[in-house]
């Protein structure tokens, strides 16, 4: 009896996999020394070992196989670096060799063929686009010119929280407030105004949220090319194309608005030029030596939104959450902020430079909860040495920054939240100290680092200037569990119940400053391991609550 043709498919696939492995290995034998590799499976290689939290899974593998190891994600060789020395070797010693990016099918379609600063492959185009971003959009003078925008938008967040205490609305989403703060600042700086009102504004917001979500989606075709058809069956291809078209239409509308306004000469010299104005000016004057196409203009704006939003509001969320768990840190921070404010009703950016503990708090939060636990992958442009290992050209490298920041060889008590470790330390987030690289380093470091940090500093300073945090009697800090690194939404809810009757296990007390008087606000944090962090905002009190699929 003849066997059906598909009965030979699995043996054939297994043969192809081992043939590929053998060819890759034998082509690099002899004098070459490859990093150690965990055992993989046919076809998928080590993909199954990444788990739902790749940074944790890779850290666990590195404890067994070493700080530099070689994985095979499908057909792609990928080096994982999990030590300070390896990170320094990649981003400083051999930064030029590791300065390219691997191709991503999703990024390709969303960012006009990967023409953005973040994902563009190394070359002349990338140099020019990065130069525009660094020299014309994110230089210190330009960042300072938008100081008024940052101060007004952070003040608006404080006002909205106050209004929520007297509002008839049942729910206030503080995570949404942090996200709105980031989006509003970036919108005004990059596009000239906020796009958050009306149907078009809501559509734009939803599309940008989908963009950020898609950037975290795994595309099987990038690692096992002959399985790319699965993206069509799953609907991923259709979804990506839809978001790409919506983004293009939105950016086209923004550019046309600016061009129409400029023709009517409605722009005032006293106003700070937004990024669209600057890019159109560069495009018209052709002062950089090469033409800026319309797609390049759009993709630069898109890059600013994606990188700025995804870096800023998660850092604010995690910092506020850690402060709730560490009352001494809250008290020290508030004393510093209020002492330097010297009775002023509002904190300004002029006050931030002297707030050493504030800066330490933010560094410690970025150390424990980096916006990007795994830095964006790089790709070697040629054969290169990584520590004692030989790495072939076209090999991807992933730097596990999360593992580096929790390495006991670099940090005392790395799992402990202790801002004081930075008070007498020269370590910063500028990409020079490889123990702490939340924004990367070298040629591929984030050019918007300064912009992001100043927003976080100002927002946090204003928040602690208006709130006093203490832990009530009976709460043990170790009862609060934050072992999961999922980003947690923050919500506020108004309720008129007596907190002492409704919530016997309250765990924190806020005091809100509404002018000359202080209003006590109680915060309740459960001990559940959570996927969501909820902040319930009541008329007379606040309750923080962690939920694990059910109410506490």
Residues ≥6 apart with Cβ < 8 Å to 326: 417, 477
Confidence of residue 371 (pLDDT cuts 50, 70, 90): confident
Contact predicate 435/84, CB 8 Å = yes
Give the total residue count for the chain. 552
Domain residue ranges in the chain = 471-552
Q: How large is the average pLDDT for residues 191-204?
A: 77
pLDDT for the residue 525: 33
pTM of the model: 0.81
Task: Give the H/E segment covering residue 294.
Answer: helix 294-325
Q: What is the DSSP string of 232-280?
A: HHHTHHHHHHHHHHHHHHHHHHHHHHHHHHHHTT---TTSPP-HHHHHH
532 labelled ligand-binding: no
- Cα–Cα dist 493/491, whole Å: 7
- Cα–Cα dist 400/373, whole Å: 6
Q: Which of 90-99, 493-502, 538-547 has the highest mean pLDDT?
A: 90-99
Flag the least confident range among 21-35, 393-407, 408-422: 21-35
- Cα–Cα dist 247/253, whole Å: 10
Q: What 8-state DSSP symbol labels residue 78?
A: E
Q: How large is the average pLDDT for residues 510-527?
A: 35
CB atoms within 10 A of CB 44: 18
Residues ≥6 apart with Cβ < 8 Å to 338: 465
CB atoms within 10 A of CB 377: 19
69 DSSP β-pair partners: 80
Q: Is 433's pLDDT higher than 80?
A: yes
CA distances from 197 to 25, 144, 193, 200 (A): 57, 27, 11, 7
Confidence of residue 179 (pLDDT cuts 50, 70, 90): confident
């Amino acid at each position: 009896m003849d066997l059906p043709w598909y009965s030979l498919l699995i043996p054939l696939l297994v043969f192809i996999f081992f043939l590929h492995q053998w060819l890759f290995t034998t082509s690099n034998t002899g004098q070459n020394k490859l990093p150690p590799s965990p055992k993989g499976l046919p076809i998928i290689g080590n993909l199954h070992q990444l788990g739902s939290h790749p940074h944790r899974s890779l850290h666990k593998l590195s404890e067994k196989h070493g700080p530099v190891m070689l994985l095979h994600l499908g057909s792609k060789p990928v080096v994982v670096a999990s030590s300070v020395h390896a990170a320094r070797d990649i981003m400083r010693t051999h930064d030029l060799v590791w300065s390219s990016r691997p191709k991503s099918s999703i990024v390709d379609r969303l960012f006009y063929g990967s023409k953005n600063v973040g994902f563009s492959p190394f070359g002349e185009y990338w140099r020019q686009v990065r130069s525009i971003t660094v020299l014309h959009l994110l230089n210190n003078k330009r960042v300072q010119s938008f100081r008024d925008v940052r101060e007004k938008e952070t003040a608006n967040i404080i006002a909205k929280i106050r209004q929520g205490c007297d509002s008839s609305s049942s729910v206030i989403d503080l995570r949404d407030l942090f996200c709105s703060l980031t989006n509003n600042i970036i919108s005004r700086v990059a596009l000239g105004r906020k796009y958050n009102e009306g149907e078009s504004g809501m559509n734009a917001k939803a599309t940008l949220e989908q963009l950020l979500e898609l950037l975290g989606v795994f595309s099987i075709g990038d690692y096992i090319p002959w399985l790319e058809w699965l993206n069509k069956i799953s609907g991923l291809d259709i979804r990506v194309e839809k978001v790409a078209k919506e983004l293009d239409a939105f950016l086209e509308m923004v550019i046309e608005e600016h061009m129409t306004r400029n023709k009517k000469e409605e722009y005032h010299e006293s106003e700070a030029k937004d990024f669209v104005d600057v890019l159109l000016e560069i495009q018209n004057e052709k002062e950089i030596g090469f033409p800026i196409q319309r797609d390049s203009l759009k993709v630069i704006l898109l890059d600013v939104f994606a990188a700025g939003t995804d870096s800023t509001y998660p850092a604010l969320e995690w910092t506020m959450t850690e402060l709730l768990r560490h009352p001494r840190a809250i008290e020290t921070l508030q004393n510093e902020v209020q002492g330097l404010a010297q009775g002023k009703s509002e904190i300004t950016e002029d006050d931030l430079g002297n707030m050493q503990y504030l800066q330490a708090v933010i560094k410690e939060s970025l150390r424990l909860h980096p916006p990007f636990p795994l830095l964006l992958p790089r790709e070697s442009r040629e054969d290169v040495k990584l520590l004692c290992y030989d790495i072939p050209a076209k090999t991807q490298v992933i730097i596990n920054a999360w593992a580096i920041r929790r390495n006991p060889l670099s940090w005392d008590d790395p799992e402990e939240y202790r801002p004081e470790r930075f008070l007498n330390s020269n370590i910063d987030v500028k990409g020079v100290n490889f123990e702490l690289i939340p924004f990367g380093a070298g040629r591929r470091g984030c050019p918007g680092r300064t912009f992001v940090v100043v927003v976080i500093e100002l927002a946090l300073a204003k928040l602690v200037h208006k709130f006093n945090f203490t832990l009530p009697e009976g709460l043990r800090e170790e009862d609060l569990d934050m072992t999961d690194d999922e980003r947690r939404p923050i919500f506020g809810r108004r309720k008129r119940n007596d907190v002492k009757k409704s919530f016997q296990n309250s765990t924190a007390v806020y005091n809100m400053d509404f002018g000359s008087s202080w209003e006590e606000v109680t915060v309740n944090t459960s001990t559940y391991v959570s996927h969501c962090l909820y902040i319930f905002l009541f008329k007379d009190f606040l309750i923080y609550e962690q939920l694990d699929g059910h109410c506490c």
